[in-house]
């Protein structure tokens, strides 16, 4: 069974903290994505990566960075968390088919 | 740039009734179109996709969708809804590359017994 695993389901952080969200896929997919999900706004693409060490900005990259040192792992980094980054973060992967495989999400609360 | 509109935020249907969820897209060329479902506390799962060919596509769990170019629509249908279909449904469009998707805001489906 294909699997995308997000390391933390729930996180609570304080304003200004550095936050790492980790995502691992076991399907050897080239593409990996980070989305943010907010009520009434749907899913918005933060960053995506087509290959190791390659990344491209999505629609809302401000305040975020990413790292992909290995094919199976894609990390989302909030350098200095702010309250407006309280959200659900979804990681996904695919092989250019459009069939994204999603993790269960990481719900981040920034106080 | 592409965009997706799901005009219904919330829909309630009775178990056994038919269902149609609306999706309109904006894109200049032939789009790649998708429907995903998100059960509570879960990630999204692909229901079906349209790339080309037959405009009526079948998906998992008894769902189907019809691509209508003239109406820029890709509505999702199911003839008889089950209580387990209660979830949030997202329409998405891909352009250029199938993978970089733009999602709609979602429709939450409630099923009454």
Give the C-alpha separation, B85 to B43, whole Å: 15
Residue of A nearest to B94 (CA): A98
Residues of chain A short of pLDDT 70, as ranges, are 1-2
Contacts of B24 in chain A (CB under 8 A): none
Give the C-alpha separation, A70 to A68, whole Å: 6
pLDDT tens profile A32-55: 999 999 998 999 999 999 989 889
Position B14 pLDDT exceeds 90: yes
Which residues are bridge partners to B4 per DSSP?
Answer: B25
Mean pLDDT of chain B: 92
pLDDT of residue B18: 97
Report helix, strand or coil for B86: coil
Is the separation of the CB atoms in A96 and B97 below 8 Å?
A: yes
Contacts of A104 in chain B (CB under 8 A): 41-43
pLDDT of residue B96: 61
Q: Which one of A40, A98, A104 has the shortest CB-CB distance to B98?
A: A98
pLDDT tens profile B69-96: 999 999 999 999 999 999 999 999 987 6
Give the C-alpha separation, A57 to A49, whole Å: 9
Q: How far is B42 from chain A (nearest CA, A)?
A: 5
What pLDDT band is residue B100 in, cutting at 50, 70 and 90? confident
pLDDT of residue B97: 60
Give the C-alpha separation, A92 to A33, whole Å: 5
Mean pLDDT of chain A: 93
Burial A84-97 (b: 16+ CB within 10 A, else e): ebebbbbbbbbeee
What pLDDT band is residue B98 in, cutting at 50, 70 and 90? low
Burial class (CB in 10 A: 0-12, 13-18, 19+), B68: exposed
Is the separation of the CB atoms in A106 and A21 below 8 Å?
A: yes
Q: Which one of B43, B97, B105 has the shortest CB-CB distance to A90?
A: B43
């Amino acid at each position: 069974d294909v699997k995308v695993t997000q390391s933390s389901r729930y996180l609570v952080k304080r304003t200004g903290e550095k936050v790492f969200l980790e995502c691992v896929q076991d399907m050897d997919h080239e593409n990996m994505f980070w989305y943010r999900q907010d009520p009434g706004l749907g899913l918005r693409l933060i960053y995506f990566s087509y290959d190791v060490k390659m990344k491209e900005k999505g629609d809302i990259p401000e305040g975020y960075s990413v790292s992909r040192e290995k094919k199976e792992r894609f990390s989302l980094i909030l350098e200095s968390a702010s309250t407006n980054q309280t959200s659900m973060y979804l990681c996904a992967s695919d092989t250019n088919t459009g069939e994204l495989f999603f993790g269960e999400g990481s719900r981040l609360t920034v106080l | 740039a592409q965009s997706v509109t799901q005009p219904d935020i919330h829909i309630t249907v009775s178990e056994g009734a038919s269902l149609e969820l609306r999706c309109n897209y904006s894109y200049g060329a032939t789009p790649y179109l998708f429907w995903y479902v998100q059960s509570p506390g879960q990630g999204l799962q692909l229901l079906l996709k349209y790339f080309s060919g037959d405009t009526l596509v079948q998906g998992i769990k008894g769902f189907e969708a019809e691509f209508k170019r003239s109406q820029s629509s890709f509505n999702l249908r199911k003839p008889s809804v089950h209580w387990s279909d209660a979830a949030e449904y997202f329409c998405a469009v891909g352009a250029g590359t199938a993978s970089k998707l733009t999602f709609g805001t979602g429709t939450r489906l409630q099923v009454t017994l």
